[in-house]
Amino acid sequence: MAAVNRPARPPLIGVLALQGAFREHRQALERLGVAVSEVRLPRHLDGLHGVIIPGGESTTMAKLMRDYGLDRALESFHRDGGALWGTCAGAIELASDIVGFPEQPRLGLMPMSVVRNDYGRQVASFEADLDIRGLDAPFHALFIRAPRIVAVGEGVEVLARYEGDIVAAAAPQLMATVFHPELLGDDRVHALFVERVCGLPLTAAGLTGEAT
């Protein structure tokens, strides 16, 4: 699933910074030594290899994306080979199907069905150790009003499950996680995105040699 785009440019990852937990993603990438920029307007996508769409509130984020023209800009960024990773609300933006909310705006680039808030309310947030494909040891994950991925389409690879449900998935130049890997200080999922989804070299500990 490595991106093949624009190898000549220095590695640079963007974080969609309209709303939600974007600062924490920025800090995680910086801890890995990756250059990061914040994306608020379509022109901020120039020169990026990948973009993280953070957790937050998916309807608000979608409205802001549309207001700033970032919905179509992100679609063409992806069509041109750019990688996208959605966490929690960001995963909802990537999903082709949001069960019960057919009218909710979204990018819809990843063939999967999600049910919003299906693990319960904020007070039902929980933590769990996950075996994630591509990581050499379990990952402690935090779920906050997470969506549930109830189905994935052809070409989508399951990276992790929790009690049978898919909680991390990937497709060419796409990754979705319903938990929040940016909040607990373990940056291995960020490394996975940079190396395996964006196809950028990174000297990170904790990834397996296996290609995902």
Decide if 198 is catalytic. Answer: no
175 token code pair: 């990754």
The identity of residue 88, as a single letter, is: C
> Binding of ligand GLN at residue 56 (CB under 6 A)?
yes
Evaluated on CA atoms 12, 87, 161, 137, the torsion sign reads positive
Contact pick of 12, 28, 58, 77 for ligand GLN (by CB under 6 A): 58
Q: Enumerate residues 86-105 that contact ligand GLN by CB under 6 A.
A: 88-89, 92
Closest alpha carbon to 47 in 3, 76, 77: 77
Torsion of CA 116, 122, 127, 133, to 10 degrees: 20
In the three-class reduction of DSSP (H, G, I as helix; E, B as strand; rest coil), residue 160 is classed as: strand
Judged by CB under 6 A, which stretch of 84-92, 131-139, 158-166, 195-203 contacts ligand GLN? Answer: 84-92
CB 202, min distance to ligand GLN, A: 25
Nearer to ligand GLN, 3 or 61 (CB): 61
Residues that bind ligand GLN (CB under 6 A): 55-58, 88-89, 92, 116-117, 144-145
